[in-house]
Structure 1
Amino acid sequence: MTDTHHLLLMPPNWIGDAVMAQPAMRAISEHYRIQHPDLRISVYGRGWLKDLLPWLNLPAAIYSATVVKADSAFLFPNSFRSAWQCRLAGNSHITGYRGQWRRLLLDTALPHKLSLRYQHHRDFYLDIPGQTGIPIEQRDVRLQAPDGAIESGQQAMLAHGLDPARVVTLAPGAQFGAAKCYPETGFATVCRTLAEAGWQPLILGMPEDKETGSRILSGLNVPHWNAAGETTLGQALQLIAASRLMLCNDSGLMHVAAGLGIATIAPFGATDPARTSPSGERVRILYQPADCSPCLKRECHVPGHPCMNNITPKMLSDACFSLLAP
């Protein structure tokens, strides 16, 4: 008779936070797998999680579009709704942080020993397994490309006239808001500098980033591709995995690239790198804070957007070249 156990994981609700929670989810999964070799893992969350999950390096984890009944459930969102959904599904061993009037819905209600406002989000999520006595062997994000994903990304690049060995990806947008976006003109300057050295830019982003991407790529004399709004999340991840470098704002794609070991350059200003910087050896964070940094606001109301304009295009270009060097 096999020792079966069903584990339910509910990651955070933003792509970047879901990636930062990967070490914690990995620790929980491996702990239960040692105890239950036939462990089943269901991962519930927003629709984009179905595309992201194969990259999170959680063996045998399956995406679930509904909250299922499991033997153990770990909640990373702090909302009352997530705990209520879990209880309604019939779960009886629910672990998560207390707060938002949900303590009575949790079987293991953990105190907030760390704060998202002051500590790194990765450590905040890791404190969930930490407080429950689960061993943590991996504190950095370590993602893994699914079989064939890099090859698919390379094929897409070739289909658009790009040489995969020369492709650098750029993501000039950010879902949180414009305050943490590097200026479009700065991205364009960096693109021209990289293109003059023979690198081929590829823009990723949402449909609303399409026009920005077109302006950034305007006038380049090397092959380039504005893929903003043209890919699914899964296809965007394939392109990142197949590229040589990622230049982007503080965003979910930044955490994905760094977690895959792709050279990653990110300017920070409105957000705090001490709280949301990506982990990885091939990461360069540029932070030249203004008096108002980090404001943590969606929109900048200070003339000149100083936290970002303090970072010159040359600083970004030099950082790119330092990681692109043989």
Structure 2
Amino acid sequence: MEKILIAGPSWVGDMVMAQSLFIMLKQRFPDARIDVLAPAWSKPILDRMPEVNDSIILPTGHGEFRFKDRWQLGKSLRQTQYTRTLVLPRSWKSALVPYAANIPQRTGFHGEQRFVLLNDRRKLDKKILNQTVKRFFALGLEKVAYDTALNGQGNHLDNLPDPALDVNQDNQQILIEKFGFDREKPGIALMPGAEYGPAKQWPLESFRSLAEQLAEKGYQVWILGSPKEAVAGDTIAASGHQDIHNLCGKTSLSDAVDLLALAEQAVSNDSGLMHVAAAAGTFVHGIYGSSSAEFTPPLTEKKQIHSLNLECSPCFKRHCPLKHTDCLNKLSVDSVLQGVEAH
């Protein structure tokens, strides 16, 4: 039986996109055990992936090296006798735990001189592997199939499975009662956050105008985000309309999955919650400024991309290098509202 350890990514959206890989591995190895080595925040998401047997929590914070802690964790995993590992990040530290665990096949991309840590190192062709999900997925292919794909042959990277998170209907009912939602009104989720930076964030004034117009048209608006977005949520809900609910910081990541599955549609910056919404089955309106829907699209057929496609975008910067962020500031509320009403 295959026992596979995945060294997972550090961002919410990337972890959701990695489920496409997990689905493929389960198809290849139906009886396989798939464990994911990941930050503590990711456990609620991994718990909603039926392909994942267990999440193993990294004893480090974001960006921390902590060699001794990683090495000791790897040694503790030797008893599991994993048969292979896939290291999704390209950093040196991410490959340390699988190496310390004595896993015989250790697969990952070239990067940061990981010659000893990985024994199945693969070239990253950014032209062929032009999406994050394709990069994760490709590491799950056998070497021959991987080389064939990079030569532009075969259909190994066609029709990748979309992520699909499990939904807890009992928790949905609890949340409806907790927040006093009106089940007769369709819910629209708004996600104004984007951890990467302001060059990925549609203006709060635009979100606020959209929320108010949606509420006036009979929709129920749920603003979702972490405690960091609580003030942003207050700004969006400043009108005090009874059908605009600021839930930022009031829900767990598991709650967000269930609420997004309950929502009719979601309007979001290119963020982790956008990918959660797609994997929960919601129709997603993805707003793109400095990033690109060609690289990190919502992995669902139920989507509409809102982008001005300016000459200066995508720049992939945290802050607009031209100091105007026109790619987002000039994206009209009316165009997004029309998209919502059309679906």
State the TM-score, normalized to the length of structure 2: 0.84
**Percent identity of the aligned residues?**
26
Root mean square deviation of aligned Cα: 2.1
Are 1:8 and 1:44, in contact at CA under 8 Å, matched by a contact in 2?
yes
The letter for the 2-side match of 1:120 is: Q
Task: Measure the CA separation in 1 of the matches of 2:331 and 2:105.
Answer: 48
Deviation at 1:220, TM superposition (A): 4.3
Moved more, 180-189 or 304-313: 304-313
Are 1:254 and 1:266, in contact at CA under 8 Å, matched by a contact in 2?
yes
Q: Does residue 120 of the first structure (1) align with residue 131 of the second (2)?
A: yes
Deviation at 1:276, TM superposition (A): 0.9
> For each residue in 1:143-199, what CA deviation from the matched residue of structure 2 results, as whole angstroms up to 9, or x when unmatched?
1324xx133124213321212452211110111111100000100111111101111
Superposition pairs of residues 242-257 of structure 1, within 5 angstroms? 242-257=262-277
Moved more, 159-168 or 76-85: 159-168
| Gap regions ≥5 residues in structure 1 | none
Alignment length (residue pairs):
312
Alpha carbons of structure 1 residues 182 and 248: separation in structure 2 relative to 1, 3 Å: same
The letter for the 1-side match of 2:136 is: Y
Q: Does residue 168 of the first structure (1) align with residue 160 of the second (2)?
A: no
Alpha carbons of structure 1 residues 272 and 184: separation in structure 2 relative to 1, 3 Å: same
> For each residue in 1:294-320, what CA deviation from the matched residue of structure 2 results, as whole angstroms up to 9, or x when unmatched?
111112243442000221000111111
Task: Measure the CA separation in 2 of the matches of 1:154 and 1:265.
Answer: 25
Are 1:207 and 1:230, in contact at CA under 8 Å, matched by a contact in 2?
yes
* Counterpart residue number, 2:208: 188
Alpha carbons of structure 1 residues 290 and 114: separation in structure 2 relative to 1, 3 Å: closer
Q: Does residue 216 of the first structure (1) align with residue 227 of the second (2)?
A: no
What secondary structure sits across from 1:8 in the alignment? Answer: strand
* Counterpart residue number, 1:238: 258
What secondary structure sits across from 1:145 in the alignment? Answer: coil
Deviation at 1:29, TM superposition (A): 3.0
* Counterpart residue number, 1:77: 89
* Counterpart residue number, 2:177: 158
Are 1:140 and 1:280, in contact at CA under 8 Å, matched by a contact in 2?
no
Alpha carbons of structure 1 residues 137 and 291: separation in structure 2 relative to 1, 3 Å: closer
The letter for the 2-side match of 1:99 is: G
Task: Measure the CA separation in 1 of the matches of 2:224 and 2:197.
Answer: 16
Deviation at 1:286, TM superposition (A): 0.6
Deviation at 1:282, TM superposition (A): 1.2
Deviation at 1:140, TM superposition (A): 3.7
Q: Does residue 94 of the first structure (1) align with residue 99 of the second (2)?
A: no
* Counterpart residue number, 1:308: 328
* Counterpart residue number, 2:22: 25
Are 1:190 and 1:313, in contact at CA under 8 Å, matched by a contact in 2?
yes
Task: Measure the CA separation in 1 of the matches of 2:96 and 2:163.
Answer: 31
Counterpart of 2:282 (choices 240, 262, 270) is: 262
Task: Measure the CA separation in 2 of the matches of 1:45 and 1:249.
Answer: 24
The letter for the 2-side match of 1:123 is: K
Deviation at 1:131, TM superposition (A): 5.0
The letter for the 1-side match of 2:133 is: R
The letter for the 1-side match of 2:44 is: D
Q: Does residue 63 of the first structure (1) align with residue 55 of the second (2)?
A: yes
Are 2:286 and 2:298, in contact at CA under 8 Å, matched by a contact in 1?
no
Are 2:269 and 2:287, in contact at CA under 8 Å, matched by a contact in 1?
yes
Are 2:282 and 2:302, in contact at CA under 8 Å, matched by a contact in 1?
yes
Task: Measure the CA separation in 2 of the matches of 1:154 and 1:193.
Answer: 27
Moved more, 293-302 or 269-278: 293-302
* Counterpart residue number, 1:130: 141
Moved more, 42-51 or 300-309: 300-309
State the TM-score, normalized to the length of structure 1: 0.89
Are 1:115 and 1:124, in contact at CA under 8 Å, matched by a contact in 2?
no
* Counterpart residue number, 1:106: 118
Q: Does residue 142 of the first structure (1) align with residue 163 of the second (2)?
A: yes
> For each residue in 1:113-162, what CA deviation from the matched residue of structure 2 results, as whole angstroms up to 9, or x when unmatched?
2369x81111222221235348778504231324xx13312421332121
Moved more, 178-187 or 164-173: 164-173
What secondary structure sits across from 1:94 in the alignment? Answer: strand
What secondary structure sits across from 2:341 in the alignment? Answer: helix
The letter for the 1-side match of 2:304 is: R
